[in-house]
């Protein structure tokens, strides 16, 4: 088949959440349009389309009011389905947003009972994930925010969030779970404002934790693009800090509600830089698609959606290889590198500072030569459009 080079393979580490391909198309204005699939059926579907793994919130798999016996049966059936279909569970997470008890937040809520319940629910979700050898535990604080800042001091919210994280890290250690926690930022929705609105905000917060080496981030394309930020810059900062523990791939038009569209379906160029970054640096983690199919689709359309996410990733990976090997691009990059070589400021020394202070700069000469970024960008476009 001519398209075989874009076929997903286990080594690509493509994963989907139960809530993504299992999404039934409900939105705030309309009800479900697709029938409910069981978790086992979702695993079968993921195997059919060629995914590596499946992730879940505690209650995607085990309904919140299940008895212990019901939970055991669900876990047993799901484990069997994962084993039979060779589908891994690399990440688990906890739903701290759906139930009315979380209307004022979970770890940051004003009522201490809510905060204690949120920590308990997370511990149980960690127990559940550990049964499937999940290595990463994602925390998305969807309700950790406000409609009105009258309700609490923001600094209290930050302290409460820290207290919860410190507790959960100790719990993971006490159980030998070996989890890495990945904090997922989002600026708003469902709250008017969510605390820690960007990946950068979480990166700063993580440094204040007792077990900071256990905690990193899970940047999501849609969440960075909603406020018009550059996802690959957020990812690069996380990577450079050694904190890129997970990633949520999807797509989003800036300034709109969280669209969770098929990967790269809105912004192929930004997605190209993102894929190129992940591949160039050798990111070894999961490529998790936190997206869902259009409401117009039946389950064949959901498969088209899932296949599309993976295929586009592999196309962009291929394009990135082409970009890296492109002769003219290489020569422009060499020129850029040439300008980066001599007279670097370096680390501070008294002598170096004296010499820098006395150095003469010919501003006009330095600014006189074009930098060829137009050409470089058009060559990128040629590759993306498939004419080079």
Which CB atom, from 135 or from 184, has the smaller least distance to ligand GCO? 184
CA distance 5 to 2: 8
Binding flag, residue 59, ligand GCO (CB under 6 A):
no
Answer yes or no: 60 catalytic. yes
Evaluate whether 162 touches 203 at the Cβ level (below 8 Å): no
Check binding of 184 to ligand GCO (CB under 6 A). Answer: yes
> Taking the complex as a whole, how short is the minimal distance between the CB of residue 248 and ligand GCO, in angstroms?
5
Closest CB to Mn ion among 37 and 226? 226
Least distance (Å) from ligand GCO to the CB of residue 257? Answer: 10
Query: Which of 57, 223, 246, 288 is an active site residue?
Result: 57
Quick one: 126 or 138, whose CB is closer to ligand GCO?
138
> Quick one: DSSP state of residue 292?
-
Nearer to ligand GCO, 169 or 383 (CB): 169
In 3D, which of 61, 5, 41 has the Cα closest to residue 310? 5
Residue with tokens 């009011």: 65
Neighbouring residues of 315: CB distance < 8 A, sequence distance ≥ 6: 6
Binding site for Mn ion (CB under 5 A): 220, 222, 248, 258, 290
Among 248, 276, 291, 292, interactor with ligand GCO by CB under 6 A: 248
**Would you call 173 helix, strand, or coil by DSSP?**
helix
Nearer to ligand GCO, 257 or 373 (CB): 257
User: Is residue 132 close enough to count as binding ligand GCO by CB under 6 A?
Assistant: no
104 binds ligand GCO (CB under 6 A): no
* Residue placing its CB nearer to Mn ion in the complex, 312 or 380: 312
If binding means CB under 6 A, how many residues of this protein chain bind ligand GCO? 9
Contact indicator for 96, 118 with CB cutoff of 8 Å: yes
State the minimum distance, in angstroms, from the CB of residue 377 to ligand GCO. 31
Write out the two tokens for 273: 């830089």
58 forms part of the interface with ligand GCO (CB under 6 A)? no
Quick one: tokens of 66? 């299940």
Closest CB to Mn ion among 104 and 290? 290
Q: Which of 60, 104, 248, 251 is catalytic?
A: 60
How far is residue 78's CA from residue 65's CA, in Å, rounded to a whole number? 18
- How far apart are alpha carbons 56 and 16 in whole angstroms? 9
CB of 325 to ligand GCO, least distance (A): 35
Shortest Å, Cβ 222 to ligand GCO: 7
Residue in 49, 138, 165, 384 binding ligand GCO, rule: CB under 6 A: 138
Catalytic residue flag (residue 57) = yes
* Separation of alpha carbons 310 and 265, rounded Å: 12
Instruction: Tell me the DSSP string of 330-381.
Output: HHHHHHHHHHTTSS---S--HHHHHHHHH----HHHHTTS---HHHHHHHHH
To Mn ion, the closest distance from the beta carbon of 115 in angstroms equals 23
CB of 353 vs Mn ion, minimal distance in Å: 46
Contact 90, 55 (CB under 8 A): yes
Q: What is the chain's length?
A: 388
Helix axes 268-281, 373-385, angle to 10 degrees: 100
* Binding partner selected for residue 93 from ligand GCO, Mn ion, none, CB under the kind-specific 5 to 8 Å limit: ligand GCO
Q: Does 290 bind ligand GCO (CB under 6 A)?
A: yes
To the nearest 10 degrees (0 to 180), the angle between helices 327-339 and 373-385 is 150
Give how far Cα 187 sits from Cα of 64, 170, 267, 379, Å: 27, 28, 20, 34
C-alpha closest to that of 40 among 76, 72, 78, 75: 78
Contact flags string 254-283 toward ligand GCO, x per CB under 6 A: ----x-------------------------
Q: Which residues bind ligand GCO (CB under 6 A)?
A: 93, 138, 140, 184, 186, 220, 248, 258, 290
User: Which sequence positions are flagged as catalytic?
Assistant: 57, 60
């Amino acid at each position: 088949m001519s398209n075989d080079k874009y076929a997903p393979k286990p080594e690509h580490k493509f994963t989907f959440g139960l809530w993504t391909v299992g999404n039934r198309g409900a939105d705030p204005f309309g009800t479900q349009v697709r029938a409910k699939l069981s978790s086992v059926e979702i695993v079968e579907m993921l195997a059919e389309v060629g995914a590596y793994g499946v992730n879940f919130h505690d209650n995607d798999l085990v309904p919140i009011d299940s008895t212990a016996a019901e939970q055991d049966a669900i876990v047993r059936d799901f484990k069997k389905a994962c084993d039979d279909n060779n589908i891994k569970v690399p990440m688990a997470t906890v739903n701290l947003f759906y139930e009315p008890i979380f209307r004022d937040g979970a770890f940051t809520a004003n009522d201490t009972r809510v905060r204690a319940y949120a920590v308990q629910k997370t511990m149980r979700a960690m127990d559940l994930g550990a049964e499937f050898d999940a290595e990463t535990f994602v925390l998305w604080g969807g309700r950790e925010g406000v409609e009105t800042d009258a309700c609490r001091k923001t600094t209290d919210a930050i302290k409460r969030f820290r207290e919860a994280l410190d507790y959960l890290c100790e719990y993971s250690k006490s159980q030998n779970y070996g989890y890495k926690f990945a904090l997922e930022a989002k600026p708003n929705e469902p709250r008017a404002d969510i605390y820690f609105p960007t990946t950068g905000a979480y990166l700063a917060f993580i440094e204040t934790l007792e077990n900071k080496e256990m905690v990193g981030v899970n940047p999501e394309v849609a969440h960075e693009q909603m406020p018009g930020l550059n996802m690959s810059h957020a990812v690069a900062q996380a990577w450079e800090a050694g904190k890129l523990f997970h990633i949520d791939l999807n797509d989003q038009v800036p300034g709109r509600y969280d669209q969770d569209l098929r990967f790269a379906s809105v912004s192929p160029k930004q997605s190209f830089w993102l894929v190129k970054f992940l591949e160039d640096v050798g990111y070894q983690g999961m490529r998790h698609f936190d997206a869902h199919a259009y409401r117009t689709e039946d389950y064949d359309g959901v498969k088209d959606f899932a296949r599309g996410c993976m295929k586009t990733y592999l196309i962009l990976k291929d394009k990135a290889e082409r970009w890296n090997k492109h002769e003219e691009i290489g020569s422009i990059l060499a020129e850029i590198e040439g300008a980066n070589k001599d007279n670097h400021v370096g680390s501070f020394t008294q002598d170096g500072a004296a010499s820098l202070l006395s150095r003469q700069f010919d501003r006009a000469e330095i600014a006189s030569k074009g930098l060829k970024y137009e050409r470089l960008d058009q060559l990128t476009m040629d590759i993306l459009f498939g004419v080079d």
